């Protein structure tokens, strides 16, 4: 069966920001949004801007929106709508949920994180360790930036309570074997706690197939508004005592972890973002992104040093590299002068940068999503050659 081809021109026509001359290769830090997301947010503020639970029409429409948003989240993550919770962002949700699960931890219990992680899935555990006298261990990565599963097995113990890990590195694009990590964690009696922020725009997520207990992501990384989204396995959520205001409902399960009033207009944008991704289709998205990544890797100038896997096997199209004779900041500034948006620094991937010897300046990071074009890849390669 042939993979459906992506109509990139039709896709780009739906993104108002892409009408500018800028090549937005900054997707790893946050993607642009299609017109349907913008329209949904504006429509909510025009027609339905009210709090929940009222007897009047605008409030009832807000109630219905919240239901639709949880249903959309369930369809996006492959779980029940009752198992999801929205929050300000992934990091805020992770601080809250990590503190909730830690109500049952004892001094000397262990958390394992990885050197591939964004710090949003590291610092919450470090802070808990500080407060509760826990231990945090770091699972190493190999020189090629793949996660060392042998090191994970060595470090698991009967005191391990959580194994926190990413589905994909936000710095170097490397994928992890999430199902195997979850299997190892469960065999040791620990929870599998996944950061899917960077993977979410690049492929489908099925929490049941992955076997994870908790998974967090950020809709603004997959063409939606600035929100955080979390999944928790129903049995697990039911066993936790939430931090919440007393009148807030305990059911559905996930909502007991949504503190305060949600950003309803952003939920409307989230629903539109999920609908948009489903319309485009993951097969077309993945095939197009793989072609872009292969084009970049084949044309990377010799005076650029790539950090991470040298092919598209085992990775998403996010690339960290340095340019000989230029600091990462200087290279990013020179590219910006050419209307090419990329990132520099450590992108909160503190452990990765330390492991690769890239402190304190980090590296240049370019990332491709489905609305990027082969011509934009060539623009980047040509500009790097000039640098």
pLDDT of residue 243 exceeding 60: yes
Tens digits of per-residue pLDDT, 260-312?
A: 999 999 999 999 999 999 999 999 999 999 999 999 999 999 999 999 999 99
Q: What is the pLDDT of residues 16-46, one digit of tens each?
A: 999 999 999 999 999 999 999 999 999 999 9
Confidence label for 3 from pLDDT (cuts 50, 70 and 90): confident
For the chain, what is the mean pLDDT? 97
The backbone torsions φ and ψ at residue 264, rounded to the nearest 5 degrees and listed phi first, read -60, -40
| pLDDT reported for residue 275 | 98
pLDDT at 2: 64
Gap between the Cα atoms of 233 and 84, Å rounded: 9
With contact defined as beta carbons under 8 Å apart, do 66 and 56 qualify? no
Q: What is the pTM of this model?
A: 0.97
Q: For each of the domains in the chain, give its residue range(s) and CATH number, in order of start.
A: 8-25+281-386 (3.90.1150.10), 39-277 (3.40.640.10)
Strand order across the beta sheet in which 160-166 lies:
84-87, 228-232, 214-217, 191-195, 160-166, 110-114, 135-139
Answer yes or no: are the C-beta atoms of 258 and 93 closer than 8 Å: no
Instruction: Work out the angle at residue 8's Cα, subtended by the Cα atoms of residues 302 and 314, and round it to the nearest 5 degrees.
Output: 50
pLDDT value of residue 4 = 75
Q: Among residues 6, 16, 65, which one has the least CA distance to residue 40?
A: 65
Q: pLDDT category, 1, cuts 50, 70, 90?
A: low
Q: Which of 170, 188, 191, 230 is nearest to 350 (CA)?
A: 170
CA distances from 36 to 41, 142, 264, 371 (A): 9, 42, 16, 15
Q: What's the rounded mean pLDDT across residues 205-220? A: 98
Answer whether the bond into residue 40 is a cis peptide, omega within 30°. no
pLDDT digits (tens, 9 = 90+) for 340-350: 999 999 999 99
pLDDT band, residue 374 (cuts 50/70/90): very high
- Tens digits of residue pLDDT in 52-84: 999 999 999 999 999 999 999 999 999 999 999
**What is the number of H-type helices and E-type strands within the chain?**
14, 13
- pLDDT at site 248: 87
pLDDT on residue 305: 98
Neighbours of 374 (CB within 10 A): 14
User: Residues 254, 237: contact at Cβ < 8 Å?
Assistant: yes
Binned at pLDDT 50, 70 and 90, residue 127 comes out as: very high
> Average pLDDT, stretch 244-252?
89
- pLDDT for residue 124 is more than 90: yes
Phi-psi bin for 22: left (phi > 0), alpha (psi -120 to 50), beta? beta
Confidence (pLDDT) at 249 = 84
How much is the pLDDT for 10? 97
Percent of the chain with pLDDT over 70: 99
- 180, two tokens: 């195997």
CA–CA gap between residue 229 and residue 174 (Å, rounded): 22
Q: Mean pLDDT over residues 347-359, rounded?
A: 96
């Amino acid at each position: 069966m042939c993979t459906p081809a992506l109509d990139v021109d039709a896709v780009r026509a739906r993104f108002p920001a892409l009408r500018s001359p800028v090549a937005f290769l900054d997707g790893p830090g946050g993607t642009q949004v299609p017109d349907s997301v913008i329209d949904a947010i504006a429509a909510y503020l025009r027609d339905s801007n009210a709090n929940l639970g009222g007897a009047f029409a605008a409030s009832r429409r807000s109630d219905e929106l919240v239901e639709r948003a949880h249903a959309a989240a369930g369809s996006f993550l492959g779980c029940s709508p009752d198992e999801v919770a929205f929050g300000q962002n992934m990091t805020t949700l992770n601080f809250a949920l990590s503190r909730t699960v830690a109500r049952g931890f004892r001094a000397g219990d262990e958390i394992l994180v990885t050197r591939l992680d964004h710090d949003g899935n590291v610092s919450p555990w470090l802070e808990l360790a500080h407060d509760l006298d826990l231990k945090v261990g770091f699972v190493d990565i190999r020189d090629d930036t793949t996660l060392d599963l042998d090191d994970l097995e060595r470090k698991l113990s009967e005191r391990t309570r959580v194994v926190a890990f990413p589905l994909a590195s936000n710095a170097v694009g490397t994928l992890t074997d999430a199902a195997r990590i979850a299997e190892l964690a469960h065999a040791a009696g620990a929870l599998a706690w996944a950061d899917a922020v960077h993977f979410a725009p690049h492929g489908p997520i099925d929490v049941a197939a992955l076997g994870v207990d908790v998974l967090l992501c950020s809709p603004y990384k997959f063409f939606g508004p600035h929100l955080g989204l979390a999944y928790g396995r129903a049995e697990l959520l039911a066993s936790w005592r939430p931090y919440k205001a007393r009148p807030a409902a305990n059911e559905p399960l996930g909502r007991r972890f949504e503190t305060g009033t949600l950003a309803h207009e952003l939920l409307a944008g989230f629903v539109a973002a999920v609908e948009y991704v489903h319309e485009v289709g993951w097969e077309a998205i993945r095939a197009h992104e793989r072609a872009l990544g292969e084009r970049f890797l084949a044309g990377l100038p010799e005076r650029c040093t790539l950090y991470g896997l040298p092919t598209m096997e085992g990775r998403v199209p996010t690339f960290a590299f340095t340019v000989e004779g230029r600091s990462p900041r200087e290279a990013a500034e020179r590219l910006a002068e050419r209307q090419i948006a990329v990132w520099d620094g450590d992108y909160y991937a503190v452990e990765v940068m330390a492991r690769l010897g890239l402190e304190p300046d980090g590296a240049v990071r370019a990332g491709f999503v489905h609305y990027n074009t082969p011509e934009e890849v060539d623009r980047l390669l040509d500009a790097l050659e000039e640098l």
